[in-house]
Amino acid sequence: MERGEQKSLGIYIHIPFCVRKCFYCDFLSAPAGERQRADYVEALCREIDKESKRYRDYTVNSIFMGGGTPSLLEGESISMIFNKVHENYKVSDDCEISMEANPGTVTWEKLVNFKETGGNRLSIGLQSAKKEELKALGRIHTYEDFLMTYEMALKAGISNINVDLMTGVPGQSVESLLDTLQRITDIVQMPSHISAYSLMIEEGTPFYEKTPELPDEDLERELNKITADFLHKKGYLQYEISNYALPGHMCRHNTVYWRRGNYAGFGIGAASMVENIRFRNTGDREKYVEFFLNNKNNLKRDWNEKHKNSGGFETMNKNSYVLKKNLEEDLIKEDVQVLSIEDQMEEFMFLGLRMKDGVCENEFLRTFGKSIDEVYPGIVGEFCRQGLLLLRKEPLTGENWIALTPFGMDVSNRVMAEFLLERH
C-alpha cells in the first residue's frame, strides 16, 4: 500500500458477442462480424485505460469477463484486454480472474492466452447434459463439446471451473435433471463451482414471444430441491440462492455484488457501483465504439483533463453532487444514481439475504448507526415466526446474523420486498 487505506475493487468486463442468441437470453449480446469485434475490443481497452484514473486508490481483487460469449474472442484479444487491466490497475497477487466460455467456441490457444494473462477461473455454460433440453433452449453445443472444453481447461492449468446449469427447462424431468447432475459430478475432477439458475421468461426473448411448455411450479420447486440435495451430498455448499461451491471455491466476484463491495463495469451495458454511486454504460455498441475510437469526442469530455486534481472516487465521494454531475457529463454513462441511506439499507438487506449466511445485524448497525429492527420494525420477527427467516449467533464473533430458511429461499421475493422502505 502506497498511501492511505487501499480499497477493494471488482472489475466486470462485458463482451456482447455470441454465435447465436439462445431462446431465453435477454443479455446484451448479439452475433457480430470480425471487424466489429476488433473495434469493440479496441474501444474496451481504451475505456479500461481511461477509467483507471478514477481507481488509483483501489486494489483489484476480482475480474470477471462475462457476456455474451467472451470465449468467442480471439486469444489475442483476450490477452490484450487482461493485459490492459494489469498495466493500469493494482491487481492483487491472488486476484480471482474469471472468464465465461461456451462449449464449441474455446480453443487451446485462447485458454493459454487467458492463463498467461493471469486467468485462473473458467465459467462454462452447460445448462443441461440432455440433448433435447439443449436443443429446446437454443444452445449450439452438445454435452460432448462441454466435456472437451472442460478437459482442455484442466490441461491448460485452469482447475477452478464453474458450470452453469438450468432448472425449469422445457421438457425437464426429475430423471433428466438427476442424469445431468450425475454426469457432471462423475467427472474425475468435478467442477469446483456450480451455478444452478431457474429459467426465467424475459421480455424480448424468443421464449417470451412463444413460450414453450414449462415444468409447473411444483415440479420446478422439486427440481431445485433435488439440485440442492444432490449437490449437498456431493460436498457442495449452497452459499447463495443459485450458487454452489466446493469448500474454499465461492466466487469472489459474485460475492462483491451481494455484499455491496465496489465494482467497476467496462464495456456496453456494464453496471458499476463505487462508493454508493450506481451507474451504467450505454447499451449502444456503435455509440460506445464511436466514443472511444473518435478522439475529438473523447477530448471534449475527457474526465482526466477536467479533474486533474480531484483524484478518484474516494475524494470525489466527499461531494457526491460533483461526482454525479461529473459522471453524467460522461456521454456514455447512464442512470447515475447516488444511493441514499435508505437505498443503501434496502440493498444491504435484499442483496445480502441472497447469501446463505444472510446479513449481519451488527454490521448493519455499524454501517448505518441504526439497528435493523429500528428501520424495519417487526418485520424480521414476523418472518421468523412464519419460518422464512432464521436468526443465529456466530459462536466465534458473537455477532447476530439473519438468513433465509430453505423455504424462505424458495419465496425470497416475498421476503425481500418487505425490506423496501416507504418513500414520498
Partner 1 sequence: MSIDQSKIRNFCIVAHIDHGKSTLADRIIEKTGLLTSREMQAQVLDNMDLERERGITIKAQAVRTIYKAKDGEEYILNLIDTPGHVDFNYEVSRSLAACDGAVLVVDAAQGIEAQTLANVYLALDHNLEVFPVINKIDLPSAEPDRVKNEIEDVIGIEAMDAPLISAKNGIGIDDVLEAIIEKIPAPGGNPDNPLKALIFDSLYDSYKGVIVFCRVMEGRVAKGTSIQMMATGAKCEVVEVGYFGAGQFIPCDELTAGMVGYITASIKNVKDTAVGDTITDAKNPCAEPLPGYKKVNSMVYCGIYPADGAKYPDLRDALEKLQLNDASLRYEPETSIALGFGFRCGFLGLLHLEIIQERLEREYNLDLVTTAPGVVYKVRKTDGEVIELTNPSNLPDPSVIEYMEEPVVSAEIMVVTEFIGPIMELCQERRGRYLGMEYMESTRALLKYELPLNEIIYDFFDALKSRSRGYASFDYELKGYEQSELVKLDILINREEVDALSFIVHKDSAYERGRKMCEKLKEEIPRHLFEIPIQAAIGGKIIARETVKAVRKDVIAKCYGGDITRKKKLLEKQKEGKKRMRQIGSVEIPQKAFMSVLKLDDK
Is-contact 31 20, C-beta < 8 A? yes
Residue among 21, 27, 115, 371 that touches partner 1 (CB under 8 A):
27
Binding mask 297-316 for partner 1 (x = CB under 8 A): --------------------
Return the number of the residue (191 or 408) whose C-beta is nearest partner 1: 408
Backbone angles phi, psi at 143, to 5 degrees: -65, -35
Return all residues near 5 (Cβ < 8 A) that are at least 6 apart.
none
Q: Is 30 an interacting residue with respect to partner 1 (CB under 8 A)? A: no
Residue for cell digits 487467458?
A: 114
Is-contact 70 78, C-beta < 8 A? yes
Is-contact 278 271, C-beta < 8 A? yes
3-state secondary structure of 423: coil
Return the number of the residue (239 or 350) whose C-beta is nearest partner 1: 350
What b/e sequence results for 370-408 when a residue is b if at least 16 CB atoms lie within 10 Å of its CB, and e otherwise?
Answer: eebeebbeebbeebeeeebbeeeeeeeeeebbbbbeeeb
Looking at residue 312, the DSSP 8-state letter turns out to be S
Nearest distance, CB of residue 310 and partner 1, angstroms: 25
Q: Is 90 an interacting residue with respect to partner 1 (CB under 8 A)? A: no
* CA atoms within 13 Å, Cβ hemisphere of 405: 12
| Residue count, binding to partner 1 (CB under 8 A) | 46
Is-contact 266 278, C-beta < 8 A? no
Return the number of the residue (100 or 314) whose C-beta is nearest partner 1: 100
Backbone angles phi, psi at 76, to 5 degrees: -60, -45
Return the number of the residue (50 or 278) whose C-beta is nearest partner 1: 278
Is-contact 279 335, C-beta < 8 A? yes
Binding mask 185-224 for partner 1 (x = CB under 8 A): ------------xxxx----------------xx-xx--x
Nearest distance, CB of residue 359 and partner 1, angstroms: 15
Q: Is 119 an interacting residue with respect to partner 1 (CB under 8 A)? A: no
Q: Which range of residues in 182-190, 291-299, 371-379, 408-416 is near partner 1 by CB under 8 A?
A: 408-416
What is the spatial order of strands in the sheet that 243-245 belongs to?
237-240, 243-245, 193-198, 160-167, 121-127, 90-101, 58-67, 7-15, 262-266, 271-274, 277-281, 333-338
Q: Is 46 an interacting residue with respect to partner 1 (CB under 8 A)? A: no
Return the number of the residue (78 or 152) whose C-beta is nearest partner 1: 78
Residue among 230, 244, 263, 303 that touches partner 1 (CB under 8 A):
263
Binding mask 322-351 for partner 1 (x = CB under 8 A): -------------x----------xx--xx
Binding mask 51-70 for partner 1 (x = CB under 8 A): -------------x-x----
Binding mask 230-249 for partner 1 (x = CB under 8 A): -----------xx-------
Backbone angles phi, psi at 124, to 5 degrees: -105, 130
The three cell numbers locating residue 260 = 455491496
Q: Is 99 an interacting residue with respect to partner 1 (CB under 8 A)? A: no
Q: Point out which residues bind partner 1 (CB under 8 A).
A: 10, 12, 14, 27, 64, 66, 197-200, 217-218, 220-221, 224, 241-242, 256-257, 263, 265, 269-273, 278, 280, 335, 346-347, 350-351, 354, 386, 388, 409-414, 416-418, 420
